[in-house]
């Protein structure tokens, strides 16, 4: 079965996020002064062949932990997993 997956990778909470901080600092100069808590992450999209949805989920979780994210400083979670 073919599955379409979206994975979100974010910096672990509590870690410094220089990019989020820079974006947050720039928004007021464009007129938005009501924004806080900006964090920047990555969005990955992929498709895979697997026997079942739970098998697909297990595989993606492993991929996410080993390659798609750096578990030392990042968290990952599956945003969406559906049959393609």
35 part of the interface to other proteins, by CB under 8 A: no
11 part of the interface to other proteins, by CB under 8 A: yes
Q: Which is nearer to other proteins, 17 or 56 (CB)?
A: 17
The rounded distance, in Å, linking the Cα atoms of 77 and 74 is 10
Q: Which is nearer to other proteins, 38 or 50 (CB)?
A: 38
Residue 9 tokens read as: 């990778």
Answer yes or no: are the C-beta atoms of 42 and 30 closer than 8 Å: no
Answer yes or no: are the C-beta atoms of 79 and 7 closer than 8 Å: yes
Answer yes or no: are the C-beta atoms of 11 and 74 closer than 8 Å: yes
18 part of the interface to other proteins, by CB under 8 A: yes
Stretch that binds other proteins, among 1-9, 16-24, 42-50, 60-68 (CB under 8 A): 16-24
Q: Which residues bind other proteins (CB under 8 A)?
A: 11-19, 21-23, 25-26, 29-30, 40, 70, 72-73
């Amino acid at each position: 079965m073919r599955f379409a997956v979206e994975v979100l990778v974010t910096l672990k909470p509590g870690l410094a996020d220089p990019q989020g901080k820079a974006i947050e600092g720039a928004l007021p100069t464009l007129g938005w002064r009501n924004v806080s808590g900006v964090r920047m992450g990555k969005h990955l999209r992929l498709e895979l062949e697997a026997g079942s949805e739970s098998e697909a989920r297990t595989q993606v979780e492993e991929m996410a932990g080993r390659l798609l994210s750096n578990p030392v400083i990042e968290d990952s979670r599956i945003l969406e997993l559906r049959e393609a």
